[in-house]
């Protein structure tokens, strides 16, 4: 089994503006696992706020040593060994985990969702994320995005109410909102959420800085809308700690270390009575398609990452009736695009 690692610069179609800053590209790492004439594809995108660098991920992946004559069908043991070799670097594990799952599915000749026994009819509609912009731009984009059933607004700036009002004028589809840790005041947040609850908003993501557990617990106890942790939720321990602090969790492959961890977290979150959102970074069809295979396990999906990028090197899951749906092809079901 041979691992090929490629640093890759994801170019965004438009600048992606959040309460924490704006960017036009996202560093990523693509992984290829070659074995017996098959190739498993993996990817992780590394938005700067996560604090993990492309160089660190590449260096960690170069250190991975497989046992002699590894059997990719021995997926769990190989991932456990890789996780301990990679140390505390979930994104490196995520790229490898996706590639190994892709290879696993290709050897067995089945898509991952089928190997897991998941029903594509349970895939929730995916939202389209509109980053912070002027109200007129939000309205134009909300009107254009006719193929999406849910619009997600990035908030946490000074004009949150105006942005929601603008989007609400443009469409009567449900909205979700993500403050990306941008709110500071408990009472103001609660007041705003009551206002949102009258405007067909489904949930609120990460209102306050992730470390402010007491503020989130206070808000969750009173909020008429579900409060979802994102930046506060990386691995399984965070899902367990979310009980009593959040109503739900946003699980992303890049944060938690890939499909094996995300699948376990989705199961545990549900058992704890937490709502689940499966999310993504601005990333290619590789990682987004991988996540789509797990999406029947989630209450909500926010898997629009590949729709926001300009240089997708893969084709994969497609938007069908507003749901990001994996191709019925072995593994994660992606194909490299022919070079332009
Ligand atoms: Mg978020």
pLDDT at 17 over 90: no
Q: Which of 108, 128, 150 is the last residue of a domain?
A: 108
Please tell me the distance between residue 62's alpha carbon and the centre of ligand 1 in angstroms: 30
Can you list the positions of beta strands (E) in 216-290?
227-229, 248-251, 275-278
CATH number assigned to the domain comprising residue 43: 3.30.390.10
Do 40 and 101 belong together in one domain? yes
Distance 105 CA to ligand 1 centre (A): 30
Nearest alpha-carbon partner for 323 in 285, 283, 296: 296
Q: Does 142 lie in the same domain as 244?
A: yes
Strand boundaries in 91-199, DSSP class E: 127-130, 150-154, 175-178
60 Cα–ligand 1 center, Å: 26
Any bridge partners for residue 29, and if so which?
Answer: 7, 44
Question: What's the 230 CA to ligand 1 centre distance in angstroms?
Answer: 5
Shared domain check, 299 and 175: yes
Q: Please indicate, yes or no, whether residues 208 and 331 belong to a single structural domain of this protein.
A: yes
On whether the pTM is more than 0.75, the answer is yes
122 and 95 part of one domain: no
pLDDT (tens digit per residue) in 261-281: 999 999 999 999 999 999 999
Give the end of a domain, one of 88, 108, 128.
108
122 C-alpha to ligand 1 centroid (Å):
22
pLDDT at 94: 98
Task: Measure 178 CA to ligand 1 centroid, in angstroms.
Answer: 6
Please name the residue that has the structure tokens 């009736």: 321
Q: What percent of the chain has pLDDT over 70?
A: 100
CA of 210 to the centre of ligand 1 (A): 11
Ligand 1 centre to CA of 73 (Å) is 34
Q: What is the CA(84)–ligand 1 centre distance, in A? A: 28
The reported pLDDT for the residue numbered 71 is: 95
Has residue 232 got a pLDDT over 70? Answer: yes
**Once rounded to an integer, what is the mean pLDDT over residues 200-223?**
98
Q: Is the domain of 242 the same as that of 123?
A: yes
- Looking up residue 264, the CATH number of its domain turns out to be 3.20.20.120
Q: Tell me: do 79 and 181 sit in the same domain.
A: no
Q: Rounded to the nearest whole angstrom, what is the distance from the C-alpha of residue 320 to the centroid of ligand 1?
A: 23
| Same-domain status, 146 and 265 | yes
**pLDDT over 90 percentage in the chain:** 90
For 292, residues 6+ apart whose C-beta sits below 8 A from its C-beta are 123, 301, 303, 316, 317, 324, 325, 326
Q: What is the number of domains present in the chain?
A: 2
pLDDT value of position 340: 62
Distance 234 CA to ligand 1 centre (A): 12
- Which CA distances in Å does 205 have to 24, 152, 179, 189? 23, 10, 6, 12
Same domain, 141 and 17: no
Domain that includes residue 100, residue range: 2-108
pLDDT tens-digit series, residues 89-98: 999 999 999 9
């Amino acid at each position: 089994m041979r691992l090929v690692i490629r640093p890759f610069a994801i170019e965004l179609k438009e600048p992606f503006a959040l309460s924490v800053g704006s960017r036009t590209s996202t560093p990523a790492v693509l992984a290829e696992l070659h074995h017996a004439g098959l190739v498993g594809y993996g990817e992780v995108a590394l938005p700067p706020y996560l604090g993990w660098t492309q160089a660190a991920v590449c260096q960690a992946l170069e250190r991975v040593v497989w046992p002699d004559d590894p059997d990719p069908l021995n997926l769990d043991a190989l991932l456990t060994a890789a996780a301990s070799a990679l140390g505390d670097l979930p994104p490196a594990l995520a790229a490898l985990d996706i590639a190994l799952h892709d290879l696993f599915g290709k050897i067995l000749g089945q898509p991952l969702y089928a190997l897991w026994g998941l029903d594509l009819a349970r895939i929730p509609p995916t939202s389209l994320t509109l980053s912070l912009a002027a109200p007129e731009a939000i309205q134009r984009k909300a009107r254009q995005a006719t193929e999406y059933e849910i619009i997600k607004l990035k908030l946490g700036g000074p004009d949150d109410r105006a942005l929601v009002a603008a989007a609400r004028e443009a469409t009567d589809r449900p909205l979700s909102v993500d403050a990306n840790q941008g709110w500071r005041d408990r009472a103001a947040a609660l007041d705003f959420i009551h206002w949102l609850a009258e405007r067909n908003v489904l949930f609120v993501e990460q209102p306050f800085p992730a470390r402010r557990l007491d503020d989130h617990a206070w808000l969750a106890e009173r909020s008429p809308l579900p409060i979802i942790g994102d930046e506060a939720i990386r691995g399984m321990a965070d899902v367990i700690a979310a009980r009593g602090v959040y109503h739900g969790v946003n699980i992303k492959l890049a944060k938690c270390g890939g499909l094996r961890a995300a699948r376990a977290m989705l199961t545990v979150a549900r058992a704890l009575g937490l709502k689940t959102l499966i999310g993504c970074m601005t990333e290619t069809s590789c990682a987004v398609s991988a996540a789509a295979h797990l999406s029947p396990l989630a209450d909500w999906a926010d898997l629009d990452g590949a729709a926001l990028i300009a240089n997708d090197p893969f084709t994969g899951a497609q938007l069908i009736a507003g749901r990001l749906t994996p191709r019925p092809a072995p593994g994660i079901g992606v194909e490299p695009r022919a070079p332009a």
